[in-house]
A and B are shown apart, each in its own frame.
Chain A
Amino acid sequence: MKRGNIKLMQGNEACVEGAIAAGMRFYSGYPITPSTEIAEISAAKLPRIGGKFIQMEDEIASIGAVIGASLTGLKSMTATSGPGFSLKQENIGYAAMAEVPCVIVDVQRGGPSTGLPTSPAQGDVMQARWGTHGDHPIIALSPYSVKETYEITIEAFNLSERYRTPVIILMDEVIAHMREKIEIPDENEIEIVDRLKPKDKAEDYNPYEINDGDLVPAMASFGEGYRYHVTGLVHDINGFPTNDSKIAESLINRLTKKVEENTQDIVKYDEYFLEDAEIALIAYGGTARSVKSAVDMARKENIKVGMFRPITIWPSPEKQILELAKTVKKIIVVEMNLGQYYLEVDRIAKKSTDVYKYGRVNGELITPDEILSYIKEV
């Protein structure tokens, strides 16, 4: 690794670097703490590489512009925090329904409402899954270091392109504002996925028809001569609205299944000292760093604990959590909320083991010491 590639970088900065490496050429947003640096750095960098940055009038317009830009073929992203994430939900559903690839970064802060603007939280876990109405697919990823933020942002673009679906990067203030070492890989070491393009002639193109062997319909870019209709209504293979119940059933099932049936490709996770663990701690994002320290402290006292860290929050690593539940005596979910991911872990694991939760909503990162005392208590 060249020395010039080693940098001290903030999580938010690594997110933009990763996005650009993945091919992002459009960003629109409405800045909000603690995600503001993502907008600032995108504004500085995108115009220099032929990309576009627009500061929109609000969060709703921001994701609207992102969807529009993606339809023209540009890899597009927006970033926000809890209050803005709420506003974006309607259009996230639109992107899911119309199968428009896009990346939405939510740097979580204390909520509800405007809450604690400069303090960390992980209270948007369920909003990421079910924030928009109706049954829909969603992919949400949560990085725990600056380096991983870079990698995960690339992954987010790749998944959104491969599955034609919105992908959420669920960051928290801890990782977003923290600076640490990152080694930027060379361009040729990065795997980039681009959306499937139509092979048919424009006049034969059915925008929502899936060809044999493909996961998703091929996507023409606006301006390439392919004419088609984009809507949030249930639509047929031509993209036009329909009330046909058979089409509705098959469309919504297909949208859901393209993520559900590919969890093995999508799901990423990390394990720490789980080989002989009797207690497994489950944590993600910034909290996982406290948990890792707590595991080190507990191991020094010969307490057999380990950590399971979902990098992919949604779809959840269901298979892995179930296997874990069968091997450990107890599971503790540690998160900066009052037990949102706990609900998911408990659903998966409760038949096999006892699941406990340890949550905080005081705007501070949970400390390793309090986790250690909770381990002892349990």
Chain B
Amino acid sequence: MVQRELRLSGSGGQGLILAGIILAEAALSDGKHVVQSQSYGPEARGGASKAEVIISEKEINYPKVRNCDVLLALTQVACDKYIDSLKKGGSLIIDSSVRNKPNREDIYIYTIPILETAENVLNRPMVANMIALGSLNGLIKVVDKVELEKAVLNRVPKGTETINKAALEEGFKLITRYEGVDNEGQYRPNKINTTEFCQA
């Protein structure tokens, strides 16, 4: 890995900026260079929201995502808005509530029930961001699983450690069940040649 560029998108209030911060902190303790940024509208909740994380082995100058390797989209609006920025051979993780799948054949698409799992399996809609984080890291292994768990526990409020750890694990399970991802969570693409993605 020289550089990975990730974009976490959804609607304001879903906690994606926090998820981005946690991922960045985990990468930092792993000794990587990292820049995390976000953009959002003036609303406190609702509206389109995105967090960006760039993880690199070299110093990062331009702090925004240019060649998006992985796009996470929790809403239709976010998916439609950012899909064009996902590079060829990149991966898209979309929530199963996103009805209109993007019309692109040059990317990997992983449809997983992030919001539903938060609501019905863990009974806490607010942990959707941690599920998403577990899935994201399960797919591309940006950081060590243990490192990520430590970063999560550093950031979440006292008393919510168990539920957040469970959410992270659920997210990991959701993605590892997927075709193309083995039990270890190692990403092994088998549909199109993505050596470019794996090395980049």
Contact B62 A8 (CB under 8 A): no
A337 interface contact, C-beta 8 A: no
Q: How far is the CB of A84 from chain B (nearest CB, A)?
A: 16
**A29 CA to B35 CA, complexed, in Å:** 28
Q: Chain A, 270-293, contact with B by CB distance < 8 Å: what is the 0/1 string?
A: 000000000000000010011011
- Do A177 and B37 form a contact, CB below 8 Å, given A8-B28, A33-B42, A367-B66? yes
- Do A179 and B61 form a contact, CB below 8 Å, given A33-B42, A118-B42? no
Contact B66 A178 (CB under 8 A): no
> Which of B1-54 touch A at CB < 8 Å?
21, 24-25, 28, 33-42
Q: How far is the CB of B11 from chain A (nearest CB, A)?
A: 15
**A78 CA to B21 CA, complexed, in Å:** 26
- Do A118 and B41 form a contact, CB below 8 Å, given A6-B28, A8-B25, A180-B60? yes
Taking CB atoms, residues of chain A closer than 8 Å to B38 are 177
The chain A residue sitting closest to B21, CB to CB, is A179
Contact A296 B35 (CB under 8 A): no
Taking CB atoms, residues of chain B closer than 8 Å to A296 are 61
Contact of B62 among A6, A181, A368 (CB under 8 A): A368
**A314 CA to B38 CA, complexed, in Å:** 30
Contact B24 A8 (CB under 8 A): yes
B173 interface contact, C-beta 8 A: no
**A238 CA to B60 CA, complexed, in Å:** 54
**A289 CA to B35 CA, complexed, in Å:** 12
A117 interface contact, C-beta 8 A: yes
**A292 CA to B35 CA, complexed, in Å:** 15
A174 interface contact, C-beta 8 A: yes
Contact of B61 among A33, A181, A289 (CB under 8 A): A289
Q: Chain A, 5-36, contact with B by CB distance < 8 Å: what is the 0/1 string?
A: 01010000000000000000000000001000
The chain B residue sitting closest to A119, CB to CB, is B39
A215 interface contact, C-beta 8 A: no
**A323 CA to B34 CA, complexed, in Å:** 36
Q: Chain B, 60-93, contact with A by CB distance < 8 Å: what is the 0/1 string?
A: 1111101000000000000000000000000000
Question: Of residues B21, B61, B66, which shows the largest number of chain A Cβ atoms within 10 Å of its Cβ?
Answer: B61
Q: Is the interface of A mostly helix, strand, loop or mixed?
A: mixed
- Do A289 and B37 form a contact, CB below 8 Å, given A8-B21, A179-B24? no
A365 interface contact, C-beta 8 A: yes
Contact A365 B28 (CB under 8 A): no
**A292 CA to B34 CA, complexed, in Å:** 17
Q: How large is the interface on B (under 10, 10 to 19, 20 to 34, 35 or more residues)?
A: 20 to 34
Contact A118 B28 (CB under 8 A): no
Contact A290 B62 (CB under 8 A): yes
**A118 CA to B40 CA, complexed, in Å:** 7
**A367 CA to B67 CA, complexed, in Å:** 12
Contact A293 B62 (CB under 8 A): yes
Taking CB atoms, residues of chain A closer than 8 Å to B66 are 367-369
- Do A289 and B63 form a contact, CB below 8 Å, given A118-B41, A177-B37? yes
Contact B62 A289 (CB under 8 A): yes
The chain A residue sitting closest to B40, CB to CB, is A118
Q: Chain A, 345-378, contact with B by CB distance < 8 Å: what is the 0/1 string?
A: 0000000000000000000010111000000000
**A174 CA to B35 CA, complexed, in Å:** 11
Contact B62 A179 (CB under 8 A): no
Taking CB atoms, residues of chain A closer than 8 Å to B62 are 289-290, 292-293, 365, 367-368
**A180 CA to B33 CA, complexed, in Å:** 8
**A282 CA to B146 CA, complexed, in Å:** 44
- Do A174 and B39 form a contact, CB below 8 Å, given A8-B24, A180-B34, A181-B33? no
Contact A290 B61 (CB under 8 A): yes
- Do A293 and B34 form a contact, CB below 8 Å, given A8-B24, A367-B66? no
Contact A178 B36 (CB under 8 A): yes
Taking CB atoms, residues of chain B closer than 8 Å to A367 are 62, 64, 66
Q: How far is the CB of B26 from chain A (nearest CB, A)?
A: 9
Q: Chain B, 147-159, contact with A by CB distance < 8 Å: what is the 0/1 string?
A: 0000000000000
Q: How far is the CB of B20 from chain A (nearest CB, A)?
A: 9
Contact B40 A180 (CB under 8 A): no
**A28 CA to B34 CA, complexed, in Å:** 32
**A317 CA to B28 CA, complexed, in Å:** 35
Contact A179 B39 (CB under 8 A): no
**A286 CA to B37 CA, complexed, in Å:** 12
Q: How far is the CB of B97 from chain A (nearest CB, A)?
A: 26
**A365 CA to B39 CA, complexed, in Å:** 12
Q: Chain A, 25-55, contact with B by CB distance < 8 Å: what is the 0/1 string?
A: 0000000010000000000000000000000
Q: Chain A, 101-138, contact with B by CB distance < 8 Å: what is the 0/1 string?
A: 00000000000000001110000000000000000000
**A290 CA to B36 CA, complexed, in Å:** 15
Contact of B63 among A8, A118, A178, A181 (CB under 8 A): A178
**A8 CA to B42 CA, complexed, in Å:** 25
Known: A6-B28, A178-B63, A179-B21. 11 other contacts (CB 8 A): A8-B24, A8-B36, A118-B41, A118-B42, A177-B37, A180-B35, A180-B63, A181-B33, A290-B62, A296-B61, A368-B66
A-B contact pairs, 11 of them (CB 8 A): A8-B28, A118-B41, A119-B39, A177-B37, A178-B63, A179-B24, A180-B33, A289-B63, A290-B61, A367-B66, A369-B66
Closest 10 CB pairs of A and B: A293-B62, A179-B36, A292-B61, A293-B61, A289-B61, A178-B37, A8-B25, A180-B35, A8-B28, A290-B62
